[in-house]
Structure 1
Amino acid sequence: MVLRRTAGMSDLGPESLIDGPDDRILPFQVEGLDVRGRVVRLGPSVDAMIARHGYPPIVSKVLGEAVALTALLGSSLKFEGRFQLQTKSDGLIDMIVVDFEAPDRVRGYARFNEEGVAALKDARLPTGGLLGRGHLALTIDPGGDMARYQGVVPLSGESLEDAAHQYFQQSEQIPTRVRLAVAEAWTGGSIPSWRAGGLLVQFLPEAGARVRVKDLDPGDAPEGAAVPAEPEEDDAWTEAQALVETIEDHELIDPMVTSERLLFRLFHERGVRVFDGSGVQEKCRCSREKVETMLRQFPEEDRRDMVADDGSIVVTCEFCSTRYRFDPDDLKPRGGEDQ
């Protein structure tokens, strides 16, 4: 197999498996299996996000999974909007928020019970156990006057991978498989750095009749009601899933195993083709101007309640931990504004 680059795509061959950069999303397709997908590999971006907040390792791992999943899903946007992943649950990690602003900006944070996490004796507690019960919301915001779309799936001890599968089953009706991995790794520095990776593959045959989606749980169906037979999966999709199941966590985060190498290992017999990749950068959307605008929207009485002991109003961005300090007098209505 030879490397040919035309119209922004390449057929992968052994000579094309050069080391690739971190913080990169690589789209691909496997025509022989009628699947398309994306691989994301995050290094400095996710490490900076975690280091800025000083999260404990088990919280860092879950946040890293959420960031990788958000990058996989958000990078599919065909417009310069926002994609947001948010969990709200009763677990030790009761909230995660990750924003992906097309085409390449990502930011995120986690809220957790510090005492509960510190008291954990098992540092290998799975993601589902840390999140507990609640819900996962995935929101597409095109911006402007366009309506937002939101899909919500329950969390009841499942991993983020499982929640993503449920989302695609009930909201998109597209057979989808997701793999996520996060870990600390030594990359040449004096201390290890956090890395995250993920792969998403979807079955998208030209003939829609080949897609057989499992029916949703009927819920409170009457006793004795006929249960629909499970649809048989297409052989191509069965093969694609079996190949994805062979992925080991280290292959998604090891800097020596590039996205191209992984895809070639998985799909070379079927012929895998990659498209031009795109970068990812950890960057917050906050600014002093935006925070000031937000504060001005509060009634003056509420702003007075925000004043700290030193006489100022201090706002800390949850995403990037930047602190903004304001003089309350500077937030009073300007001349010509409504009183």
Structure 2
Amino acid sequence: MTLGSQIAWDDTVLPFQLDRSDIRGRVARLDGVLDKVLAQHAYPSQIEALVAEMTLLTALIGQTMKLRWKLSLQVRGDGPARLIATDYYAPRSEGEPARIRAYASFDEERLTEGAEAFSLIGKGYFAILIDQGQGTTPYQGITPIAGGSLAACAETYFAQSEQIPTRFQLSFGQNLMPGGAEGWRAGGVMLQVMPEASPFASGGGSGESGLLVPGDILEGDDEENWSRANILLDTAQDLELIGPTVQPTELLVRLFHEEGPRVFDPQPVAFGCSCSAERVRESLSIYSAKDIAYMTTDEGIVTADCQFCGAHYEFDPGTLGFEASKTP
């Protein structure tokens, strides 16, 4: 394993298909992306873990969608971890990376030292939003928080809202790099039954609170193939998932060589944000001059900060709102 091949797979998502089983999948490796996402805020370790898991899920799920613009994942709860939000932006053109950003809102005073990270969400919901851009109607699907991880929430979403059996095997954490520097690494595999192979289920499910699980959707050979692929995926080790010494292609051969794995072109991903001064102006265009005056600082400016990337914007209040008196 050379350094060059190691770097080649960092911050990529590799699509694959198991021809014997009618199952598709993705292998994701994140390092620089995750470092940049988490560097925007000094999150407590438990919140870092939730953001890392959500970012990895976003990379895997985003690459499965035929996106023209944006996929968003959101988790909202009544616990100390109030909100975890991520966005995946489709590549602007062929060969360019997809862009990912993430942000968490939390109540630091309510954090319990030593508590398991997922428990800090409490009761709430997991949502996937798809926005194909101007002239389209955004799609939103919501399921309750269920299971013991964000990955389990995503699996429940696909079973309940899309009726597509889905499985995630994830690993993430801080890695001691050569020279003593710490950096984040994350990796994971997503398995999903091909939609045409997944029959429609009706009625309640056998999962938590009556939610659907893959066993409620699949039957016959499809159920057997799904069970076999999951047993094989269970053998994946953390160091194989996150790398950097095991290439994704090697991992697929090790796990699924009897299932006929076939890989497609990898998709690079990068940290990126869509914020801009124009977008901030647009968001403030619904406010009156009185509202804008309330937002104006003692220095006579209106400020805005992007929670995702930390960008800072300053505006002349006279150029803002639907009663603006000046041209920007």
Q: Does 1:176 align with 2:166?
A: yes
| Matched residue, 1:240 | 229
| 143-152 vs 103-112, which moves further | 143-152
Q: Please say if residues 97 and 109 of structure 1, whose CA atoms lie closer than 8 Å, have aligned partners that are also in contact.
A: yes
Q: Please say if residues 131 and 157 of structure 1, whose CA atoms lie closer than 8 Å, have aligned partners that are also in contact.
A: no
Cα distance change of structure 1 residues 334 and 327 upon mapping to structure 2, 3 Å threshold: closer
Shift of 1:213: 5.6
Structure 1: distance between partners of 2:58 and 2:316: 37
Q: Does 1:139 align with 2:129?
A: yes
| Matched residue, 1:28 | 16
Shift of 1:215: 5.3
Shift of 1:56: 1.7
The equivalences for 1:93-108 within 5 A come to 93-103=81-91, 104-108=98-102
Q: Please say if residues 319 and 327 of structure 2, whose CA atoms lie closer than 8 Å, have aligned partners that are also in contact.
A: no
The letter for the 2-side match of 1:271 is G
Structure 1 residue ranges, 4+ long, deviating more than 4 angstroms after superposition? 210-215, 218-221, 228-233, 334-337
Q: Which runs of 5+ in 2 are unaligned?
A: 92-97, 211-215
Q: Please say if residues 11 and 268 of structure 2, whose CA atoms lie closer than 8 Å, have aligned partners that are also in contact.
A: yes
| Matched residue, 1:187 | 177
SS of 1:33 mapped into structure 2: coil
Cα distance change of structure 1 residues 137 and 161 upon mapping to structure 2, 3 Å threshold: same
Structure 2: distance between partners of 1:205 and 1:96: 28
| Matched residue, 1:10 | none
Q: Please say if residues 126 and 159 of structure 1, whose CA atoms lie closer than 8 Å, have aligned partners that are also in contact.
A: no
Structure 2: distance between partners of 1:220 and 1:308: 49
Give me the TM-score of the superposition, normalised by structure 2: 0.85
The letter for the 1-side match of 2:113 is K
Larger CA Rg, structure 1 vs 2? 1
Shift of 1:220: 11
Q: Does 1:302 align with 2:294?
A: no
Q: Does 1:285 align with 2:274?
A: yes
Shift of 1:149: 1.4
| Matched residue, 2:260 | 271
Q: Please say if residues 105 and 282 of structure 1, whose CA atoms lie closer than 8 Å, have aligned partners that are also in contact.
A: yes
Q: Which runs of 5+ in 1 are unaligned?
A: 1-13, 222-227
Q: Deviations over 1:141-193 (max 9, x none)?
A: 11122222111010156311111111111111112111222200123243211
Shift of 1:336: 9.6
Shift of 1:240: 0.3
| Matched residue, 1:203 | 193
| Matched residue, 2:324 | 333
Cα distance change of structure 1 residues 315 and 230 upon mapping to structure 2, 3 Å threshold: closer
| Matched residue, 2:95 | none
Q: CA-atom RMSD, angstroms? A: 2.9
Give me the TM-score of the superposition, normalised by structure 1: 0.83
Q: Please say if residues 165 and 217 of structure 2, whose CA atoms lie closer than 8 Å, have aligned partners that are also in contact.
A: no
Q: Report the identity percentage.
A: 38
| Matched residue, 2:103 | 109
| Matched residue, 1:159 | 149
Shift of 1:41: 0.8
Count of residue pairs brought into register by the alignment: 310
Cα distance change of structure 1 residues 276 and 107 upon mapping to structure 2, 3 Å threshold: same
Q: Please say if residues 134 and 156 of structure 1, whose CA atoms lie closer than 8 Å, have aligned partners that are also in contact.
A: no
Q: Deviations over 1:265-308 (max 9, x none)?
A: 10123331110001101111001222123223311111111112
Structure 2: distance between partners of 1:205 and 1:140: 18
Structure 2: distance between partners of 1:49 and 1:230: 37
SS of 2:258 mapped into structure 1: coil
